[in-house]
Amino acid sequence: MTYFPEEVVEHIFSFLPSHSDRNTVSLVCKVWYEIERLSRRSVFVGNCYAVRPEQVVRRFPNVRALTVKGKPHFADFNLVPPDWGGYAGPWIEAAARSCVGLEELRMKRMVVSDESLELLARSFPRFKALVLISCEGFSTEGLADIASHCKHLRELDLQENDVEDRGPRWLSSFPDSCTSLVSLNFACIKGEVDSASLERLVAKSPNLRSLRLNRAVSVDTLSKILLRTPNLEDLGTGNLTEEFQTESYLRLTNALEKCKMLRSLSGFWDASPACVPFIYPLCHQLTGLNLSYTPTLEYSDLTKMISRCVKLQRLWVLDCISDKGLQVVASSCKDLQELRVFPSDFYVAGYSAVTEEGLVAISSGCRKLTSLLYFCHQMTNEALLTIAKNCPNFIRFRLCILEPRKPDATTNQPLDEGFGAIVRECKGLRRLSISGLLTDKVFMYIGKYAKQLEMLSIAFAGDSDEGMMHIMNGCKNLRKLEIRDSPFGDGALLGNVAKYETMRSLWMSSCNVTLKGCEILASKMPMLNVEIMNELDGSCEMEENSVDPSRVEKLYVYRTTAGARDDAPNFVKIL
Amino acid sequence: MAGLGFEETELRLGLPGGNDAEEATRSSGKRAFEETIDLKLKLEQPACPTENEEDEEAAAADVIPAAANSLSSPAASVATGGGNMKRSPSQSSVVTAELPDPEKPRAPKYVLLHLLCMPLLHRVMLKHAVGWPPVRSFRKNIQSSQKGAGAGAAALVKVSMDGAPYLRKVDLRMYGSYHDLSKALEKMFSSFTIAGSCGSQGMKGMNETKLADLLSGSEYVPTYEDKDGDWMLVGDVPWEMFVESCKRLRLMKGSEAVGLGHSEGDGEMQEQMLRNAYLHASGISCKDTALLFYVS
């Protein structure tokens, strides 16, 4: 194809849907490499330390959309110490120097400072979209800079970030000339919000399709806003606890009824059961519903609402819905594709109103289910076998039995057979999280059957190194492996070292790997960063006498072209 | 059986927390939360393998729920892969027992008898490992602030007292502790007991102490129905947990409260437990008994 003019080749490349496809064509020959890199518009960096920011912006100077992910997944659960890293600064600075055309930035689990946000706002005149997920390190002042300087801002999406509240001025910082907002999500902002500013902003944003408010927004403000957004598709409500005044809620229903395009509903912060009937008129058109921040709604309120949502595809709830409630979901929501059931009680391991029965009911009623996150009190092999048979289309299957190492609730056996059935039947499975009592056998099954598996999360499972070896040798497409509190040691770590080059990362914490094993790994595989973390702050005071000091508490291994990073804190040792 | 070293095991009868016989047999009809959590598990490294595989699960369930409001900071939590049994620090009121690793043998020195009221305690309170259950901190923070603010509907529950002509209703969220609740109940039901016991005499002959005795002594046992529909003794679980799970309250007359850890029933309970102890020791599984203990 080298006799085609460059523009033609470039045009052909533009049809390639995925990053990996484009990566592949760039390897064909130098000409293609050059064409591909100069025409690349979107770059995805799965691990911010796998490559230097300067390398990325040098290779792809015309990038418009950049996605970068920072901390390992287990950072979500406080397993990664603070100040570990994942700084957005170097990325934003590198882009500011070399890619003036940047329009979109998406970051997940990174530390973003207000200075970086200001630099971002000032450096890219065409900047359109900022999406921050599970990030930290910035305040509402940084957001004010984004609002005031990004004249063409279309999307400001803040999901579950830890944002320091420095006042509501950020919302008033959008200039009058800014009329381009399509998506605004500030649900995670903790502080007060100026209602008048919010109403003004909404009034001048005719293209607004997605709006997620925070807990500070009142019912009346919500009603006023909704009257201005008849084309809204996705809504996150504000506060619905207000002392119940029928007129307010009637106004709300009227406003909601005008939103014929509304498909997705979330928020419901502290919603009182009395407000639920006012949502009923909307239910029949909803495809997405998130009630997982509403512990105040009980089983009966939830089912009354959900039974009306016949088109529902995505449902997030708390386990107070109970097995009975899940049966209602199963009989009402035949199009359900994604279900997440979160625990309402974190302090008592094991108690939940949701068991294997709820999931079996769901599986028999919702045959289109592909994505599951399910926290429950107990599980059985028989139930898992039934579920696997009913729903062979699972892509994501994450099961968390609240009590670690809990066996089959009826037979007291390990749950190996149940999970074995899942991996055997669900041939398209890409993500799996296992829990309960599990021996090496379950890993044998996973290694044997889960050929499409890309991400595996293991906790309190397995008997010996053999377990992990099954995974390392069997799962050909594995990209991310994260393990905690399982008896895998150096034998498993070193059993297939070449595999790590094909993976994004490995996390092991509270396992049996030793310093020696990690050193061997580092010396055998120079293209990996082997990071070990041993906290020195006394959190292991009870362990000191009984634990082998050469045992590595936390291990994070990832492939990289960037070498050892220079921003590591003192509790991180890179071998 | 001889090889199990029974002579080393120490059978404890009565309410947990007592290391001596007197404490154990002391009756307290009103089981305040503070008493139940003072549990000291003294366990050592295994010396000989245990013969009873069921004990693994029994041991797991063998822990009394501890203070839920001690939101264990990560620094205080222990996350180990092995799951060794550890001695709980006497200062902390949280029992630090992790689930035993099924493959590692255990041989604790002490046998611990855990007095339970019916139904069987199915909730296990572990000093939780860091980051378990795997829920994002954002979500955990939101939910703890929701609970703390007492957000949502009032926790109105019916209160019945055996013998009283009508029921009352209380909002559990109005009270911060079991003590507050009991004071309120005393006030609420004083009119019945006064009328009942003194007839036309009115207040004469009845005073607060007598009423307190009535409620907290041998006459009435405070019980509640939880989310699962089971009748539980008031005072076992942390206050917040109780408020979440209590559906109705019943002040049960002492004579009906046999088997609920009631003071007058102690003798019968102890006998039953001894019987169960020997059953369990001989390897007979008794999952449904009100008794769990750990035998070396």
The CATH number of residue B227's host domain is: 3.10.20.90
In a domain, B65, yes or no: no
Return all residues near A151 (Cβ < 8 A) that are at least 6 apart.
A125, A175, A177, A178
Q: What average pLDDT does the segment B64-87 reach?
A: 36
Contact B195/B205 with Cβ under 8 angstroms? Answer: no
d(CA A146, CA A186): 13
Answer whether residue A427 shows pLDDT above 70. yes
Cα Rg for chain B, rounded, in angstroms? 21
ipTM over the 0.90 cut-off:
no
Which of A22-26, A230-234, B254-258, B273-277 has the highest average model confidence (pLDDT)?
A230-234
In a domain, B255, yes or no: yes
Say if the Cβ atoms of B80 and A437 lie within 8 Å: no
Say if the Cβ atoms of A403 and B227 lie within 8 Å: no
Say if the Cβ atoms of B102 and A437 lie within 8 Å: yes
* pLDDT for the residue B82: 35
Chain A positions in Cβ-Cβ contact with residue B78 (cut-off 8 Å): 540, 542-543
Name the burial class of residue B277, with classes exposed (0-12), middle (13-18) and buried (19+) by CB atoms within 10 angstroms of its CB.
buried
* pLDDT for the residue B100: 41
* pLDDT for the residue A419: 97
Which of A500-504, B10-14, B156-160, B282-286 has the highest average model confidence (pLDDT)?
A500-504
* pLDDT for the residue B148: 59
In this prediction, residue B261 has a pLDDT band, given cuts at 50, 70 and 90, of: very low
The verdict on A404 touching B (C-beta cutoff 8 Å) is: yes
Answer whether residue B119 shows pLDDT above 70. no
A437-465 pLDDT, tens per residue? Answer: 999 999 999 999 999 999 999 999 999 99
In this prediction, residue B117 has a pLDDT band, given cuts at 50, 70 and 90, of: very low
Q: Which residues partner with A484 through β-bridges?
A: A459, A509
* pLDDT for the residue A186: 96
Which of A353, A405, A484 faces B99 most closely, judged by CB atoms? A405
In this prediction, residue A242 has a pLDDT band, given cuts at 50, 70 and 90, of: low
Answer whether residue A232 shows pLDDT above 90. yes
Chain A positions in Cβ-Cβ contact with residue B135 (cut-off 8 Å): 77, 342-343, 346, 375
Phi-psi region of A491 (alpha: psi -120 to 50; beta: other; left: phi over 0): alpha
Chain A positions in Cβ-Cβ contact with residue B124 (cut-off 8 Å): 348-350, 403
Q: What is the mean pLDDT of chain A?
A: 91
| Residue B251 lies in domain | 156-195+205-261
For residue B147, what is the nearest residue in chain A, using CA coordinates?
A295
Answer whether residue B101 shows pLDDT above 70. no
In this prediction, residue A416 has a pLDDT band, given cuts at 50, 70 and 90, of: very high
* pLDDT for the residue A549: 67
Q: CA dist B112 to B63, B120, B294, Å?
A: 10, 16, 6
Answer whether residue A134 shows pLDDT above 90. yes
Q: What is the mean pLDDT of chain B?
A: 54
For residue B67, what is the nearest residue in chain A, using CA coordinates?
A347
**Number of domains, chain B:** 1
Answer whether residue A485 shows pLDDT above 90. yes
Q: What is the per-residue burial (b if ≥16 Cβ within 10 Å, else e) of A63-78?
A: bbbbbbbbbbbbbbbb
B21-33 pLDDT, tens per residue? Answer: 443 344 444 444 4
Answer whether residue B88 shows pLDDT above 50. no
Answer whether residue A479 shows pLDDT above 60. yes
* pLDDT for the residue A290: 96
Considering only A14-28, A75-89, A545-559, B140-154, which range has the smallest mean pLDDT?
B140-154
Mutate to test the interface with B, among A347, A375, A456, A464 (most CBs of B within 10 A): A347
Chain B positions in Cβ-Cβ contact with residue A509 (cut-off 8 Å): 79
How large a percentage of chain B has pLDDT more than 90?
A: 1
Return all residues near B170 (Cβ < 8 A) that are at least 6 apart.
B156, B157, B159, B181, B184, B185, B188, B249
In a domain, B134, yes or no: no
| Interface subset of A 173-192, CB within 8 angstroms of B | 188
d(CA B109, CA B5): 9
Which of B77, B135, B149 faces A346 most closely, judged by CB atoms? B135
Considering only A342-356, B197-211, B213-227, which range has the smallest mean pLDDT?
B197-211
Chain A positions in Cβ-Cβ contact with residue B86 (cut-off 8 Å): 542
For residue B155, what is the nearest residue in chain A, using CA coordinates?
A296
